[in-house]
């Protein structure tokens, strides 16, 4: 059996990944801006994780991951904005500039921090559940679903842009203060914030990994193989697809909320299709079938963008596009496909390999629970 | 009321009527063969029973319940299993995983997030492997099985569901003589515990398994009876057996 498909080895790889990430702040030192930027990579990784779960694992290509991401981000921004309002000054300044006379009803719940944070996650989750159920129930799948998500993304982006008095339009929201949790001020430039973001990423990763190993994961794989057959086994395919799409959306919403805590800024740019496509590119290049590879893909591409993007300017996208095409053409499993075939050449001298070596050579896929 | 009953089933696509006032019933623990020339509406009937298509009118009753118009998964959960004409297995997954998915005890997606092993699976697996003889191929990907093995795997998957009623659409299509022999054995075994309905072209195969034969023609019931009755029926010979001779 290929070490790549050994579930224990996989957990070990995750452990190493997170231990390395946890140690990073100890080496960054006093450069708080760098630390803040690195925390943002946790946000990217969380988004890539969601795409990997949805696309790689569930077979649902989702070009609208920006929807739950943006909704989560706006939810958190509204919560943080309301923290700076008080009874003498109940409305955010931009509303006054847009001549609103009272706080819109949908802003009111965000006045309570706990409710606000819950809503930042619950609203995108509810959106995904309803939108997903509507689409999957009608058996919209494959490229058609991808197009629907893209259309929905553009529509929501336009809505947030157009509702100037309620969302501050293109300027977005920039809460003047960091998030307050009770007595605690969350300093976005501190190692604490970094650890919280990556701690959430760790939780999300464990959930996603367990999902892939569970019976739900097995059913999801079958749906990717032949959805029609799965229905006749008694599974409600639409319910499974909706669940995977929604869990992936919740990850994106958490990522959006974290992003706002870190950057204290949100704008309709979060709904920009380019960014949602970029998430798919991360997972595609890293390897959508592997949660870890998709996250590393996000690090690689966003890292490249930060350091090469400035120098190369628009040429960066040309370079990235070419790279993406090459990977899709020659490495359909992404860069991690190289690791997989590399490990496949190494024979593990374990006993169980002797019995079914013929079988393991033809078995290209992992056996969950094995 | 009976175990399974179809009453005045009709299905039309626009103006073309495919199933025309078709009625039949099944007795528990028997094997019924559904035969008829191409285009008689056999597979469409199976589609209508299993919910893949919705009838234009008519009712389908299964164990005292009207299942007409239900979704595929609802019908499957009530105990009707289906094997497809072109074998449908999960080709990228191993034989074991195929059977594991088919072992449908908990279907709720949220509950299944927390389930890693289904109790009772191992016992059922042994039973199915004994019946189908797929034991040595357990960890092989389904995509590389031979045609006959793929057919048996799909039969095994249907059996994993513990169905009360099995619908098999051309289970021996493309099989060699020795594979057909084995399948006859499997089906005759199954008759003891399950009710089966088999769509089949091959009359020599039908002769070896059928308790009852139902002949369809142009979407309607043409004749029903034992294989002897059917072979003696003049109308059947004209529309069906005559063509083969």
Q: Model confidence over A181-211: pLDDT tens digits?
A: 988 889 999 999 999 999 999 999 999 999 9
Does B23 fall in a domain? Answer: no
Question: Chain B residues with CB-CB distance to A under 8 A?
Answer: 50, 52, 71-73, 76-77, 81-82, 84, 88-94, 96-97, 100-102, 104, 106-110, 112-118, 139-141, 144, 157, 161
Answer for the pair A172, A80: CB distance below 8 angstroms, yes or no: no
Closest CA to A210 of A218, A43, B189: A218
User: The tokens 């003696």 sit on which residue?
Assistant: B232
Can you give the CATH number for the domain in which B51 is found?
3.40.50.300
Q: Which of A3-7, A212-216, B70-74, B160-164 has the lowest mean pLDDT?
A: A3-7
pLDDT over 50 (residue A356): no
CB spacing of A213 vs B102 below 8 angstroms: no
CB spacing of B109 vs A243 below 8 angstroms: yes
Does B165 fall in a domain? Answer: yes
Question: Where does residue A114 rank: exposed (0-12), middle (13-18), buried (19+ CB within 10 A)?
Answer: exposed
Does B135 fall in a domain? Answer: yes
CB spacing of A216 vs B157 below 8 angstroms: no
Q: Convert B177-195 into a string of H (helix), E (strand) and C (coil).
A: HHHHHHHHHHHHHHCCCCE
Closest CA to B97 of B160, B42, B12: B160
Tens digits of residue pLDDT in A103-132: 999 999 999 999 999 999 999 999 999 999
CB spacing of B71 vs A225 below 8 angstroms: no
Closest CA to A295 of A68, A53, A69: A53
Complex-level ipTM beyond the 0.95 threshold? no
CB spacing of B92 vs A218 below 8 angstroms: no
Say if strands B220-225 and B212-217 run parallel, antiparallel, or are unpaired: antiparallel
User: From edge to edge, which strands make up the β-sheet containing B80-83?
Assistant: B80-83, B165-169, B195-199, B31-35, B212-217, B220-225
Q: Which of B97, B102, B144 has its CB closest to that of A233?
A: B102
Tens digits of residue pLDDT in B6-34: 999 999 988 889 999 999 999 999 999 99
CB spacing of B93 vs A365 below 8 angstroms: yes
Answer for the pair A73, A256: CB distance below 8 angstroms, yes or no: yes
Q: Nearest-CA residue of chain A relative to B105?
A: A234
pLDDT over 90 (residue B99): yes
* Cα–Cα distance for residue pair A233/A319, rounded to 1 Å: 46
Q: Which of B82, B97, B161 has its CB closest to that of A218?
A: B97
Q: Which of A215, A356, A367 has its CB closest to that of B118?
A: A215
Q: Nearest-CA residue of chain A relative to B86?
A: A229
Domain extent at residue B99: 4-17+29-244
Average pLDDT over residues B76-97: 92
In chain B, how many domains are there?
1
Does B78 fall in a domain? Answer: yes
Residue A1: the pLDDT is 64
User: The tokens 């890693």 sit on which residue?
Assistant: B116
List, in sequence order, every beta strand (DSSP E) within chain A: 180-181, 184-185
Does B24 fall in a domain? Answer: no
Q: Which of B107, B117, B139 has its CB closest to that of A356?
A: B139
Distance, in angstroms, between A35 CA and closest chain B CA? 35
Say if strands A184-185 and B65-66 run parallel, antiparallel, or are unpaired: unpaired
pLDDT over 60 (residue B241): no
- Summary mean pLDDT of chain A: 89
Q: Which of A221, A229, A365 has its CB closest to that of B88?
A: A229
- Residues of chain B contacting residue A361, judged by C-beta atoms under 8 Å apart: none
User: The tokens 């963008």 sit on which residue?
Assistant: A305
Residue A300: the pLDDT is 94
Angle between helical axes of B147-160 and B121-132 (0-180°, round to 10)? 140
List phi, psi (to 5°) of A173.
-110, 135
Does B22 fall in a domain? Answer: no
Substitution target in A137, A207, A235 with the highest count of B β-carbons within 10 Å is A235
Tens digits of residue pLDDT in A59-71: 999 999 999 999 9
CB spacing of A210 vs B113 below 8 angstroms: yes
- Residues of chain A contacting residue B81, judged by C-beta atoms under 8 Å apart: 232
Closest CA to B19 of B31, B33, B9, B29: B9
pLDDT over 80 (residue A336): yes
Say if strands B16-26 and B57-62 run parallel, antiparallel, or are unpaired: unpaired
Does B38 fall in a domain? Answer: yes
List phi, psi (to 5°) of A349.
-80, 35
Q: How many CB pairs under 8 A join A and B?
A: 109
* Cα–Cα distance for residue pair A367/A351, rounded to 1 Å: 17
pLDDT band at B243 (very low <50, low <70, confident <90, very high): low
Does B67 fall in a domain? Answer: yes
Residue B245: the pLDDT is 43
DSSP secondary structure string, A308-329? THHHHTTHHHHHHHHHHHHHHH
Average pLDDT over residues A3-25: 91
* Cα–Cα distance for residue pair A88/A339, rounded to 1 Å: 60
* Cα–Cα distance for residue pair A214/B46, rounded to 1 Å: 32
* Cα–Cα distance for residue pair B91/B200, rounded to 1 Å: 25
Sequence length of chain B is: 245
Question: Where does residue A356 rank: exposed (0-12), middle (13-18), buried (19+ CB within 10 A)?
Answer: middle
How far is CA A227 from each of CA A184, A356, B120, rounded to the nearest angstrom? Answer: 49, 30, 25
* Cα–Cα distance for residue pair A211/B5, rounded to 1 Å: 41
* Cα–Cα distance for residue pair A202/A269, rounded to 1 Å: 27
- B65-101 residues labelled b (16+ CB within 10 A) or e (exposed): eebbebbbbebbbbbbbbbbeebbbbebbbbbbbbbb
């Amino acid at each position: 059996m290929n070490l790549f498909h050994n579930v224990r080895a996989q957990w070990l790889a995750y452990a190493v990944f997170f231990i390395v990430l946890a140690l990073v702040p100890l080496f960054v030192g006093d450069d708080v801006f760098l630390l803040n930027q690195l925390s943002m990579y946790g946000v990217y990784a969380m988004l890539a994780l969601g795409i990997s779960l949805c696309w790689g694992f569930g077979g649902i290509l989702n070009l609208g991951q920006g929807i739950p991401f943006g909704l989560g981000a706006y939810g958190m921004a509204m919560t943080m904005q309301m923290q700076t309002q008080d009874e003498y000054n109940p409305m955010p300044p931009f509303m006054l500039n847009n001549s609103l006379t009272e706080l819109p009803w949908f802003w009111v719940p965000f006045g309570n921090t706990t409710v606000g944070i819950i809503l930042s996650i619950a609203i995108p989750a509810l959106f995904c559940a309803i939108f997903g159920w509507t689409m999957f129930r009608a058996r919209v799948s494959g490229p058609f679903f991808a197009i629907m998500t893209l259309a929905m993304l553009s529509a929501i982006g336009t809505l947030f842009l157009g509702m100037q008095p309620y969302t501050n339009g293109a300027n977005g929201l920039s809460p003047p203060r960091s998030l307050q949790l009770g007595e605690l001020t969350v300093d976005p430039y501190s190692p604490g914030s970094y650890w919280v973001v990556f701690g959430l990423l760790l939780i999300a990763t464990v959930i996603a990994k367990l999902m892939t190993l569970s019976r739900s994961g097995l059913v999801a794989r079958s749906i990717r193989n032949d959805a029609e057959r799965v229905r006749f086994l008694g599974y409600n395919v639409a319910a499974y697809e909706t669940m995977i799409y929604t869990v992936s959306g919740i990850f994106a919403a958490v990522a959006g909320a974290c992003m706002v805590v870190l950057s204290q800024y949100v704008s309709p740019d979060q709904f920009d299709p380019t960014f949602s496509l970029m998430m798919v590119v991360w997972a595609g290049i890293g390897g959508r079938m592997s949660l870890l590879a998709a996250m590393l893909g996000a690090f690689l591409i966003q890292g490249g963008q930060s350091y090469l993007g400035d120098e190369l300017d628009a040429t960066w996208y040309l370079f990235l596009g070419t790279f993406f095409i090459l990977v899709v053409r020659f490495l359909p499993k992404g860069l991690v496909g190289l690791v997989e075939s590399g490990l496949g050449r190494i024979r593990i001298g374990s006993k169980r390999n002797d019995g079914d070596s013929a079988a393991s050579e033809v078995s290209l896929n992992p056996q969950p629970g094995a | 009321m009976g175990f399974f009953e179809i009453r005045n089933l009709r299905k039309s696509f626009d103006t073309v009527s495919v199933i025309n006032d078709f009625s039949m019933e099944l007795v528990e623990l028997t094997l019924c063969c559904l035969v008829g020339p191409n285009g008689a509406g056999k597979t469409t009937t199976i589609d209508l029973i299993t919910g893949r298509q919705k009838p234009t009118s008519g009712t389908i009753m299964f164990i005292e319940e009207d299942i007409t118009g239900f979704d595929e998964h609802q019908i499957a959960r009530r105990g009707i299993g289906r094997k497809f004409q072109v074998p449908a297995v999960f080709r990228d997954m191993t034989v074991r995983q195929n059977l594991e998915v088919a072992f449908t005890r908990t279907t709720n997606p949220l509950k299944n997030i927390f389930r890693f092993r289904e109790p009772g699976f191992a016992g059922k697996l042994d039973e199915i492997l004994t019946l189908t003889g797929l034991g040595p191929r357990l960890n092989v990907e389904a995509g590389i099985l031979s045609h006959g093995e793929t057919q048996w795997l799909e039969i095994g998957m249907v059996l994993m569901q513990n169905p009360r009623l099995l619908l098999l659409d051309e289970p021996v299509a493309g099989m060699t003589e020795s594979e057909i022999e084995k399948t006859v054995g499997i089906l005759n075994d199954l008759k003891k515990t399950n009710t089966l309905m088999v769509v089949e072209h091959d009359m020599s195969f039908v002769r070896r398994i059928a308790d009852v034969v139902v002949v369809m023609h142009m979407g309607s019931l043409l004749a029903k009876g034992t294989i002897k009755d059917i072979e003696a029926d003049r109308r059947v010979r004209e529309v069906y057996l005559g063509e083969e001779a």
